[in-house]
Amino acid sequence: MEISLIRHGKSQLTENDKLSGWEFKKWVEKYDYNGVIEESTYPSATLGKVAAANIIITSDLKRAVESARLLDPVTNIISDLLFRETELPSYTSQIFNLKLKPSTWAIVLRILWFSGYSTNCESLDQAKFRANKAAQQLIDYANEYKSVVLVGHGFFNMFIAKELQKKGWIGPRKRDSKHWNCMSFSLFN
């Protein structure tokens, strides 16, 4: 049995201007709404895992669904909000009219999230609980379909990978969250 975790492609949203905390919240909404950039080529290892899969699962966010369709336009896909990316907390305070680039906001808010700040989003503990549930769902699919692919998101895929390894699945120790990257986990009985 095998479970492969693939990160979605790069977003079509390329706006990179400095934003306030409130503007960044709106930017995230646009990021979630936009699709992904179609590439001229995709990693051969990723394409191989998709071709060998008996079922493809995605989060319900557009970038994951579109990425799965780009990797295999004809396969039936099951989309489930269980596999959504971990959210970032809201930061609406206008301390010193702070404006940062979206990537900087993401880093700052992710550090705050890991430190326990989870205003208007799931907490780290809740995300870990959800990742455990998601890993079990993928294992259930693997028991039925033998070869499963999840096209998901960088942070949440890494959380799922950790849960799979806790459950005895063998996979890469180094987890890479680059776009289109694939990490595969096997269970040997």
CATH number of the domain enclosing 23: 3.40.50.1240
Write the pLDDT tens digit of every residue in 24-46.
Answer: 888 999 998 888 999 999 999 99
Calculate helix-pair angle for 102-114, 21-33, nearest 10 degrees: 100
pLDDT category of residue 92 using cuts at 50, 70 and 90: low
Are the C-beta atoms of residues 21 and 92 closer than 8 Å to each other?
yes
* Residue 137: exposure state from Cβ atoms within 10 A (0-12, 13-18, ≥19): middle
Q: Look up the domain containing 38 and give its range.
A: 2-186
Number of structural domains the chain divides into: 1
C-alpha–C-alpha distance, residues 132 and 165, integer Å: 11
Q: What is the pTM of this model?
A: 0.93
Which amino acid does the sequence have at 185?
Answer: F
Question: How is residue 116 annotated by DSSP?
Answer: T
Q: Which two tokens mark 103? A: 């990537």
pLDDT digits (tens, 9 = 90+) for 112-135: 999 998 888 999 999 999 999 999
DSSP state at residue 83: G
